[in-house]
Amino acid sequence: MKGPALIPEHLPDRLTICLWDFSWYTQAGPGQPYSDLGVALDETAARGYNTIRICAAPLLLFGGLGLDDLATALAVEGLGATPGGGYFGRRTRWYNTAGGFQVPVRERLFELLAGARERGLSVILSTWEYQQSTAFAADRRWFDAIETVPITARFEALAAAFDLMLNEIHLAGLDDVVAFVELHNEVDFSRVPGLGAEAVDAVGTLRAAHPGQQVTVSLGKPPHVAMHTVPAGLDVGQFHVYSYGVLDALQRQVEIRESGSADFPNAMLHSLQRAGSPSVAEYGRPADWKLEATVITDQMLYGYDTVDPDRWDAWLYENYGSYRALMYREVASRVKAAARWGAWRGVPVVIGEGWVGYTPLEAGFEEGPAGKALAEHGMRTARSEGVWGVATCSNAAPHHPMWADVVWQRRVNDEFRDPDPA
């Protein structure tokens, strides 16, 4: 181990993290961003990233739930076809999965790990299975199988599956590619018990089985003003820092995160929609089980699929001035709270996601000058506070338009990793 926060010797002093999430297998069809893992890895390294964070789908691959046929040939469907043609979520982030192909997830996982090693990259193994991943499968068996696990036993099941996965990674000689294991993404926003005794016990169980690996969970909204309530027992503090600010103000006005609103779509949403947008009835709705398997609503899918991105961004820019100072303060104070918790607990801290929030796929506010300036503010604060790893932006990955901004990603990643920046 090295450094005051026990960073393993084989890992970089600072992690520049690219959020591949589950898209590395849900957007792996012909012509899609991850159709060629080698190309995606090369592009990631070229932008200055040294770490990727993925859904490793442990319950699908090693959960012992009778899903071996899906693990070797997962039929990806996305959220399904809309009545008027196209597919649900086509203008959303992460959910813009057309489907129509099969992917050998287990085989690709080891291909990804081997390819990462060849390029000097490390990998954070996480999972979104109790939050989103299963919704993209054509077969609901994956969703149904993990739902049969009692909620109080879900961390135990995840630890057991990761145990088997790490055994296979060890046999393949790829242990040193793993930056750390994250039992689940955003346990405070997923269908798991949250960060309590079950989580801490499961972290300890997996650590004992694999003492060379660091184990943790992530929090989507850590208790910034009460970080002392985050329990001991995590090897890494993996926290997400979002400041929705102006975005939250707009989302509330259009009721886009709600479901079953009597007046939806309201006048505000109508004012932002593309000309000729379908009605809610014409648009339709994904299968109930697919919505149950996610954390987004039918109103968000309809809204994001029909808004005009220029109108959306124009509203954000017109109103940003009222929220800018607040958003800057929130980002800085939240990063500092996380970093100081890590110093108190004696563990490294990672900001695995940030900074503004969940925007429509074709909207450019977060990719534009305002969003990038806020991201730089967060990254610089993280660096000055001794944070081990940071994501440039949750939207900076092969499946987002921001990927095209090579120069910016390279610059901010180089700055974060620079041992002595000017």
What is the pLDDT at residue 247?
Answer: 98
Whether 346 maps to a domain, the answer reads yes
Angle at alpha carbon of residue 397, lines to 361 and 157, rounded to 5°: 100
319 pLDDT exceeds 70? yes
| pLDDT score of 128 | 98
Please say if the pLDDT value at position 187 is more than 80. Answer: yes
Q: What is the pLDDT, as a whole number, of residue 4?
A: 45
What integer pLDDT is reported at residue 71 of this predicted model? 98
- 3 pLDDT more than 70: no
What backbone torsions phi and psi does residue 277 show, to the nearest 5 degrees?
A: -65, 145
Q: What is the CATH number of the domain that holds 293?
A: 3.20.20.80
The b-or-e profile of 253-292 (16+ CB within 10 A means b, else e) is: ebbbeeeeeeebbeeebeebbeeebbeeeebbbbeeebbe
pLDDT above 60 (res 112)? yes
Average pLDDT for 343-370: 97
**pLDDT at residue 65 above 70?**
yes
Residue 375 pLDDT > 90: yes
Strand partners for 101? 76
pLDDT at 53: 99
Position 120, amino acid: G
Position 1 in a domain: no
- Quote the number of domains for the chain: 1
72-81 mean pLDDT = 97
**Domain for residue 265, yes or no?**
yes
What integer is the mean pLDDT of 389-413? Answer: 98
pLDDT at 306: 98
Q: What is the mean pLDDT of residues 68-76?
A: 98
Q: How confident is the model at residue 1 (pLDDT cuts 50, 70, 90)?
A: low
Q: How far is CA 24 from CA 55, 245, 247, 284, in A?
A: 8, 30, 27, 27
Q: How many CB atoms lie within 10 A of CB 404?
A: 10
Looking at the predicted structure, is the pLDDT value of residue 249 above 70? Answer: yes
Banded model confidence at residue 228, pLDDT cuts 50, 70, 90? very high
The angle formed by the CA atoms of residues 408, 414 and 417, to the nearest 5 degrees, is 140
pTM for the full predicted model: 0.97
Q: Supply the range of the domain harboring residue 197.
A: 15-417
In 10 A of CB 362, how many CB atoms? 18
H-assigned helices in 88-172? 105-118, 141-147, 154-171
The average pLDDT across 284-308 equals 96
Cα 358 from chain centroid (whole Å):
11
Tell me, yes or no, whether 2 lies in a domain.
Answer: no
Q: What are the tens digits of pLDDT across the range 36-59?
A: 999 999 999 999 999 999 999 999
What's the chain's average pLDDT?
96
Q: Residue 335 above 90 pLDDT?
A: yes
